[in-house]
Amino acid sequence: MAFEKFDLTGKTALITGAAGLLGMEHAAALLESGAKVVLTDIGETALNTARNQLVQHFDTARILTQVMDVSQPAAIQMVAETLWQAGVRIDILVNNAAIDPKVKGDQGVLETSRLENFPLDQWNMQVAVGLTGAFLCSQVFGAAMAKDDKGGVILNIASDLSVFSPDQRLYRKKGLPDDMQPVKPVTYSVIKAGLVGLTRYLATYWAEQGVRANSLSPGGVFNSQSEEFVQRLSTLIPLSRMAQRDEYRAAVQFLCSDASSYMNGQNVVMDGGRSAW
């Protein structure tokens, strides 16, 4: 059968930040391939909304939810124990949670996205979620995958900004002096490059126990951004457009299944060709 290796029937995937824009898509992708999913996020209401949307298309019994803050080791441990006690083995971990503060540029206000002004508490908080959170989840769920020799898959969701620097011209606001121009914050680049490093480390660490790790680096997803921004960004992309939210589903299905059984430690960049220019 042509797609046999993509079949995830009998597997369970845990997704962090699952109630967000792409988290929902990863969940749908894995459900389409036959997996059970554990949607995790910080808020119960958002998780219930996500679940309610997914049950319109997929079997309720395959969709579990757990509130889990990835920056809290005790919360991760508690979710792991709850799942293990219920006999749920996590075969796939998708480290997707992140904080992506929107670039605003409010006139007259100190522009805190700029490196010179970037608050240390924001740095610590964003790194705690986007990078340390992926480490902590891998520590708990990856170690468990390695322990019983059944193996598993870790997929880290990075970004095209893991391989190149943000083009700050995209975020410029007319009429603001240079030192007040908003920028994509330094944390985003650091976290995403860090995830690629974490991926390589994990890929070799548990390879003999059958645990593979890869990262997926998506380019910007169209989500009703301003026309001006979309136009500016599109000129940097050979395909001349942003991604649709469902365009990463097939990559997630590939990377989380035996279809990619010989891929390990790689960063799959899907950016409409932006990094080729």
Is residue 70 near ligand NAD by the rule CB under 6 A?
Answer: yes
Q: How far is the CB of 98 from ligand NAD (least distance, A)?
A: 3
17 binds ligand NAD (CB under 6 A): yes
Nearer to ligand NAD, 29 or 98 (CB): 98
Nearest to 30 by CA among 254, 275, 277: 254
42, 103, 153, 211: which one contacts ligand NAD (CB under 6 A)?
42
* Secondary structure (3-state) at 40: strand
Residue 210 contacts by C-beta under 8 Å, 6 or more apart in sequence? 145, 146, 149, 150, 151, 152
Q: What is the DSSP letter of 108?
A: T
Rounded least distance, CB 148 to ligand NAD, Å: 26
Distance CA(111)–CA(5), nearest Å, equals 49
Told to check if 32 binds ligand NAD by CB under 6 A, we report no
Q: Does 267 bind ligand NAD (CB under 6 A)?
A: no
**Interface mask toward ligand NAD for 133-172; x: CB under 6 A:** x-----------------------x-x-------------
Is residue 221 part of the contact set for ligand NAD (CB under 6 A)?
Answer: yes
Task: Determine, following the binding rule CB under 6 A, whether residue 259 of this chain makes contact with ligand NAD.
Answer: no
Query: Any residues with CB less than 8 A from the CB of 199 and at least 6 apart, and which?
Result: 154, 156, 158, 213, 214, 215, 265, 266, 267
Q: Which of 99, 144, 193, 256 binds ligand NAD (CB under 6 A)?
A: 99
Which H or E element spans position 244?
Answer: none
User: Residue 253 CB, nearest distance to ligand NAD (Å)?
Assistant: 16
Q: Is 271 in the site for ligand NAD (CB under 6 A)?
A: no
Q: What value, to the nearest 5°, has the Cα angle with vertex 141 and ends 208 and 41?
A: 145
C-beta closer to ligand NAD: residue 224 or 235: 224
Residue 272 found at the interface with ligand NAD (CB under 6 A): no
Q: Cα–Cα distance between 222 and 46 in angstroms, integer?
A: 21
- Using DSSP's 3-state secondary structure scheme, residue 201 falls into helix
DSSP codes, 110-172: --TTSGGG--HHHHHHHHIIIIIHHHHHIIIIIHHHHHTT--EEEEEE--GGGTS---GGGG-
**Residues in contact with ligand NAD, total (CB under 6 A)?**
25
Which is closer to ligand NAD, CB of 180 or CB of 221?
221
Q: How far apart are CB 141 and ligand NAD at their closest, in Å?
A: 14
Task: Among 16, 66, 126, 260, indicate the residue that binds ligand NAD (CB under 6 A).
Answer: 16
